[in-house]
Amino acid sequence: MTAKNVRRGYNPDDVKIFSVENIAKLKKIQEEIQWLLDRGYKIKQVIELTGNHYLLSSRERTALQRTTSSTADYKKRRSKMLPLECVKDGCLNIDGFNLIIILEVAMSGSPILLGKDGVYRDLAGLRGTYRLIDKTDVALNLIGKALKELNAPLVKFYLDSPVSNSGRLKTKILELSGQWGLPVEVELVPNVDVVLAEKERVVTGDSIILDVCKSWFNLSRKIIEDYIQDAWVIDLG
C-alpha cells in the first residue's frame, strides 16, 4: 500500500495566526501566562482566562499552552537535559509517536513551535488516531541517521497501543531500522507517558514526561535543525 501524501499538521489559517504581528502579540500574552503560572495558577485556567480576554482562537490557545510553563518547570527540565554527547553511553527510550510526528509536521511545511524550554512541539492534534504518510519513512531514516551519528548503542521505541496503526508503525520501524547499524526494539504499551515517567535517557517533547522523567535528550531539535532546514519554526521562546 502506498502511503498517502499528507501535510501533517497543516491548517490554512496558520499564515494569519503566525504572522509576524500576531507572533508579537502571542509573545506578550505568553508573558502574562507565565506570570500567572509562577504564582500557582493552573495552565488550563490561565489559558481559558487569557484566551477569553484576548479573544484567541483555539489554535492560538493550543500554541500558547504547549509552549509555556512556569519558571520552575523550565529550570527543572534544563537541569535534567543531557548533552547529546552522552547518547553513546546507554540505551535511549524514545517516545515514538511524539518524535516521529513532529518530524512529519516539520517536513510538511506546517508550523512547529519552539518553546521557552528549547523544545519543539507541533499542533497536529491527532488525538489517538495516526496513519503512516509519505513522510513517515523519511522521518524514521532521519532518526536513524542522527542515532548513528551520535553512536547510540541501543534504542527502544515506545508506542501507545490504543493509537490506531501503532502495530503498522512498529513493523515499519523494525523494517527500516535494519539498515541503521544499531539494535532497535519497539514496544507497544497501554500508556507511554506512564512508562517513560519512570525512566532516564528519554527522548520526547511531551511536557508531562519531561517534568517527571529522570533525564532526557532534546533529539528532535537536533534532527530538525540539522536535516530539515526549511522547517517553519515559530519561535515562542
* Annotated domain spans of the chain: 14-68, 80-235
pTM of the model as a whole: 0.94
Between 60 and 116, where is the model more confident?
A: 60
Q: What is the pLDDT of the chain when averaged over all its residues?
A: 95
C-alpha to C-alpha distance for 186 and 161, rounded to whole angstroms = 11
What is the DSSP pairing of strand 155-160 with strand 184-189?
parallel
pLDDT in tens, 194-235: 999 999 999 999 999 999 999 999 999 999 999 999 999 999
> Are the C-beta atoms of residues 120 and 114 closer than 8 Å to each other?
yes
Q: pLDDT band at 1, cuts 50/70/90?
A: very low
Question: CA dihedral defined by 144, 149, 154, 157, rounded to 10 degrees?
Answer: -30
pLDDT in tens, 54-97: 999 999 999 999 999 999 999 999 999 999 999 999 999 999 99
> Class assignment of domain 80-235?
alpha beta
Does residue 223 sit in helix, strand or coil?
A: helix
Only one residue has cell 501535510, namely: 7
Max CA separation in the chain (angstroms): 53
> Are the C-beta atoms of residues 18 and 236 closer than 8 Å to each other?
no
> Are the C-beta atoms of residues 204 and 216 closer than 8 Å to each other?
yes
C-alpha to C-alpha distance for 154 and 32, rounded to whole angstroms = 42
